Amino acid sequence: MQKEIYMGRKLTEARANMGKIIFRTMLRVLLAAVILLAGIRGNPPNGKPASFMAGLLAALMILAAAVWVFFPLIHCKDHVVFYENGILMGRKIWLLEELGEISFMDSTSNRSFFARTYMCTDIKNFNITYIKDAKKNFNRAYLNTISKYQV
């Protein structure tokens, strides 16, 4: 409760980038559909599974594929709110003095075609890949505010 009082006034906020989330989900749906069609074309199903274990294995594989395909949808509620003395990331409040120096980093991995964006602090690196204009709003909130008060 003490942190909420100390946060100060709201400067700006950044919400989830629904276009990016939908685009990446659709790419995964397309890839899964291509793989499924290639598998069915090469080995057409002939009735029900040969045994209960074969059916269970097929169901687990379908469930795992569905989780992978629709994973980006969990980021639909991502948001960042910038206050005078802190940042609200999701449901957690972080004071600027706790976070220390804040920088932004784009990183790529061998497992993905797309880059991820992180807000790096002394405490934690926050994944802000699916948040629209987070870096721009951060700069607008803190760099423009600082220059207003120094005049």
The percent of residues above 70 in pLDDT, for the chain, comes to: 89
**CA 30 to CA 4: how far, in whole Å?**
44
- Cut 0.75: pTM above it: yes
Under the banding of pLDDT at 50, 70 and 90, the label for residue 4 is low
Nearest to 76 by CA among 144, 21, 12, 11: 21
Q: What is the pLDDT of residue 71?
A: 92
